[in-house]
Amino acid sequence: MPYLPEHDEVPNPLSAGLRAATTPEPCAVVVFGASGDLAHRKLMPAFYNLALGGHLPGAFGVVGVAITDFDDNKFRAEMREAVGKFSRIKPVQEEVWQDFADGMRYVNGGFDDPATFQKLKAKLEELDHTRATRGNRLFYCATPPSTFAMILKGLKDAGLIYPPNHPCYSRIVVEKPFGHDLASARALNKMVLEVLDEKQVFRIDHYLGKETVQNLMVLRFANSIWEPLWNNKYVDHVEITAGEELGIEARGKYYEEAGILRDMIQNHVLQLVTLTAMEPPVAFDADAVRDEKLKVLRAIRPIIGPDEVAQSVVVGQYTAGSIFGADVAGYRQEANVAADSRTPTYVALKLLINNWRWDGVPFYVRSGKRLPKRATEIAVHFKPLPHSLFGAGATQPNVLVVRVQPEEGIALRFSAKVPGERYRPRTVSMDFRYGTAFGSASPEAYERLLLDAMRGDQTLFTRKDEVEAAWKLVDQILRVIESPEAPRLCEYEAGSWGPSEADQLLSLDGRAWRRL
């Protein structure tokens, strides 16, 4: 009989044993900004898919809060349409939707109006009675950061926040961007922690909800073969790419203030760096994992001042070009972007991690909008052979590539003998693909993260000190690139892999970016 992997019987260390993969306790989720893009595209489809998969508690409700003039029924109809459009599983199953929609309520009002929070309180109490949600509340701020203070004050004044030791829970999920720089992130942390305990705060970074990102921990800590090699003795350099063919869509106003360093590096890309570089945690729990990630952020050599920035940072901005054969505008021609904007849409960085494991191993990271395609991957390049038996240049160094998205999987590049009478090595690849190995589609990042927030598991959420440490690194770079001593903002054509200066960043070290 052929060997068939019995996936269902293999305990997933992220969900079994080490972590209670239980159905969350009954609760009501409150979505501030419920008429916005995030609620339509991500949150409601995620809740629906959780309901479909039987992951939500039987007693569950969602209250939307926004200034849009909806009532309960209009909110349900609007969200039904959004779920029909954006759910990863289609068509929508009416029976499941109906049951889910019965628990939906809507509160119309401004976040600065105490009456909004009184109405919210009444709706939550009604849900406690009709849906048995038992007083547990998860508040989700799917709103711009400028509203956080108002929302927190409104919740506190209305008595909707319980102390951390209360038998019912109140937790808050805060969307990115978490601050604009180190000072504002600290101020935001201070404000949030005046009202809530750290254990009640869930700062979301949706990259941590991606299966392939979580799998980095399984790859590293559930296999014995990598650990002996995962250090400066065997690794030559690490390359991390987070590229998108998308431009800034309709987000010109936001992007002008953010730019690629705030939008992608401070959060998603640094999370990939920490998970790749961290030491094994002492346990698989929220604080142990986050302690190790924090140590990596603290060990990254700061890039301070114009000279260091010039040596380790390349910033770029896309000009008009073509993607998949279609002409696209340059960044400065996008709506709500200044004609002389200096906002970077591309960055390449050389990071050095000053610790025993990684000393001398550069981590080259790059991220950009309007690159030729969507591709996020981590490539661990191993050192070349000390001596080749097959002729100079006959073999390429081994590379382990973790494809975060798309075509999620892991590939190991190694040399094999080309069949024939001679010893001719050629590089081949051993490839693991999620799609074929597991045969089922991965859940959306938001599904996993919402479920964890309801369960009270903070492992995949960023802690106060972690967010601040990431900001500290990025802030030091921003200070230079947003000053009169800024390095040149290099142009790159939309549809290319970024400015040639980014290639030089590696070629000066005798290396090159992988061709994706």
Number of residues interacting with ligand BG6: please give it, by CB under 6 A: 5
Tell me whether residue 34 or residue 213 sits nearer to ligand BG6 (CB atom). 213
Angle (CA) 493 495 501, round 5°: 50
Spatial distance between the Cα atoms of 242 and 374, rounded to a whole number of angstroms: 8
Please confirm, yes or no, whether 268 is among the known catalytic residues: yes
DSSP string, 237-288: EEEEEEE-S---TT-HHHHHHHHHIIIIIIIIIHHHHHHHHPPPPSSSSHHH
- Whether the Cβ atoms of residue 268 and residue 353 lie closer than 8 Å to each other: no
Which H/E stretch holds residue 467? helix 464-481
Tell me whether residue 43 or residue 63 sits nearer to ligand BG6 (CB atom). 43
Find the binder of ligand BG6 among 78, 263, 291, 334 (CB under 6 A): 263
Q: Provide, rounded to whole angstroms, the least separation between the CB of residue 206 and ligand BG6.
A: 6
Q: Provide, rounded to whole angstroms, the least separation between the CB of residue 127 and ligand BG6.
A: 31
Tell me whether residue 408 or residue 468 sits nearer to ligand BG6 (CB atom). 408
In this structure, how many other beta carbons lie within 10 angstroms of the beta carbon of residue 396? 15
Tell me whether residue 78 or residue 239 sits nearer to ligand BG6 (CB atom). 239
Three-state secondary structure of 28-76: EEEEECCCCHHHHHHHHHHHHHHHHCCCCCCCEEEEEEECCCCCHHHHH
Q: Provide, rounded to whole angstroms, the least separation between the CB of residue 368 and ligand BG6.
A: 11
The residue length of the chain stands at: 516
- Catalytic residue selected from 40, 55, 268, 381: 268
CA distances from 366 to 159, 210, 346 (A): 45, 19, 7
CA dihedral 403, 407, 412, 414 (to 10 degrees): -120
Q: Provide, rounded to whole angstroms, the least separation between the CB of residue 267 and ligand BG6.
A: 7
| 371: helix, strand or coil | coil
Which residues contact residue 4 at a Cβ distance below 8 angstroms, ignoring those fewer than 6 apart? Answer: none
Contact letters (x/-) for ligand BG6, 159-188, by CB under 6 A?
-----------------x------------
Convert 306-331 to b/e letters by CB count within 10 Å (16 or more is b). Answer: eeebeebbbbbbbbebebeeeebbbb
Site for ligand BG6 in 357-376 (CB under 6 A): 376
Q: Provide, rounded to whole angstroms, the least separation between the CB of residue 333 and ligand BG6.
A: 18
Tell me whether residue 46 or residue 107 sits nearer to ligand BG6 (CB atom). 46
Tell me whether residue 241 or residue 415 sits nearer to ligand BG6 (CB atom). 241
Q: Provide, rounded to whole angstroms, the least separation between the CB of residue 242 and ligand BG6.
A: 7
Site for ligand BG6 in 237-256 (CB under 6 A): 244, 246
Pair of tokens at residue 143: 């709103």
- Whether the Cβ atoms of residue 404 and residue 272 lie closer than 8 Å to each other: yes
Which residues contact residue 256 at a Cβ distance below 8 angstroms, ignoring those fewer than 6 apart? Answer: 336, 337, 338, 341, 343
Which residues contact residue 189 at a Cβ distance below 8 angstroms, ignoring those fewer than 6 apart? Answer: 464, 467, 468
Q: Provide, rounded to whole angstroms, the least separation between the CB of residue 508 and ligand BG6.
A: 29
Tell me whether residue 176 or residue 463 sits nearer to ligand BG6 (CB atom). 176
- Whether the Cβ atoms of residue 273 and residue 404 lie closer than 8 Å to each other: no
Nearest residue to ligand BG6, by Cβ distance, number only: 263
User: Does 334 help bind ligand BG6 (rule: CB under 6 A)?
Assistant: no
Tell me whether residue 247 or residue 281 sits nearer to ligand BG6 (CB atom). 247
Q: Provide, rounded to whole angstroms, the least separation between the CB of residue 265 and ligand BG6.
A: 11
- Residues annotated as part of the active site: 268
Chain residues that interact with ligand BG6, rule: CB under 6 A: 176, 244, 246, 263, 376
